[in-house]
């Protein structure tokens, strides 16, 4: 059964009071189960509104974060094919079972590059889910931890490398024959200029893959003074 790990965007106003958030304000982010789609809904609250809310709905995950206004950036003319975050978003939207390992390795890579931060870990009957927040935009990535054996890390990393830097398709027999004929006729083919080395193709050591019994999320001292997700009192 396919499960929707869709990306959730940060709200501009409080879900309870509808007041606009201010730049740098501490807010409470929460994810709730969505009964209509079997996925999740994100809601953001002012801290005071969250504490005073009488809504008894139990959140799937909640954490304290800092609000920053969305930055409108110019979109590049063409999507960078080997951008890890673009690839992660694409794989999440496609939600193919065979890319679970690649999605997790990409998330670990982006977390190491300080682009994502893990905000929560949830245990479900179907497996462990890790909740990541994009530091700049506040978008959420829900990643299933496939519990990759350490012996398979290198293999999965090779798969990710192939996705980030796909090799060109081999020439057909007809094209090869044409090239051979051109060489026999004294024609030479101008070699293509090689591209620079891809800076995003990084190695992920086995020690960087989280152990299966790691049920807690480490707090970062320079991010939030309180990243815990306390249960909401009724």
Domain ranges of the chain: 7-70, 72-164
Q: Cα(55)–Cα(62) distance, rounded to whole angstroms?
A: 14
> In this predicted structure, what is the pLDDT of residue 150?
83
- Give a three-class secondary structure readout of 33-52: EECCCCEEEEEEEEHHHHHH
CB 40 within 8 A of CB 62: no
Max Cα–Cα distance, the chain, nearest Å:
84
Q: Cα(2)–Cα(192) distance, rounded to whole angstroms?
A: 43
Average pLDDT (31-50) is 85
> Using one digit for the tens of pLDDT, what is the confidence trace for 187-198?
544 444 444 445
Q: Cα(19)–Cα(12) distance, rounded to whole angstroms?
A: 9
> Using one digit for the tens of pLDDT, what is the confidence trace for 79-125?
445 588 889 988 888 888 888 999 999 999 999 999 999 999 988 88
Q: Which two structure tokens, joined as six digits, stand for 114?
A: 């300080």
Q: What's the predicted TM-score (pTM) here?
A: 0.60
CB 46 within 8 A of CB 27: yes
Which of the two residues, 160 and 80, has the higher pLDDT score?
160
């Amino acid at each position: 059964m396919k499960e929707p790990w869709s990306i959730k965007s940060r709200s501009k106003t409080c879900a309870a009071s509808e007041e606009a958030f201010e730049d740098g304000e501490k807010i409470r982010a929460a994810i709730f189960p969505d009964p209509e789609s079997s996925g999740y809904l994100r809601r953001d609250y002012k801290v005071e509104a969250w504490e005073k809310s009488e809504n008894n709905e139990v959140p799937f995950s909640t954490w304290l974060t800092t609000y920053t206004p969305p930055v409108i950036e110019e979109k590049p003319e063409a999507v960078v094919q080997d951008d890890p975050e673009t690839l992660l978003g694409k794989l999440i939207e496609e939600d193919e079972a065979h890319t679970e390992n690649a999605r997790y390795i990409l998330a670990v890579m982006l977390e190491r590059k300080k682009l994502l931060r893990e905000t929560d870990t949830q245990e479900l009957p179907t497996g462990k889910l890790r909740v990541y927040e994009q530091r700049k935009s506040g978008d959420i990535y829900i990643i299933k931890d496939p519990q990759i054996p350490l012996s398979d890390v290198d293999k999965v990393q090779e798969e990710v490398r192939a996705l980030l830097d796909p090799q060109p398709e081999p020439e057909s027999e007809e094209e090869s024959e044409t090239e051979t004929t051109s060489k026999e006729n004294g024609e030479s083919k101008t070699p293509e200029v090689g591209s620079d080395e891809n800076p995003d193709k990084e190695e992920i050591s086995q020690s960087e893959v989280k152990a299966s019994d790691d049920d807690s999320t480490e707090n970062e001292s320079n991010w939030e003074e309180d990243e815990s997700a306390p249960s909401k009192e009724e």
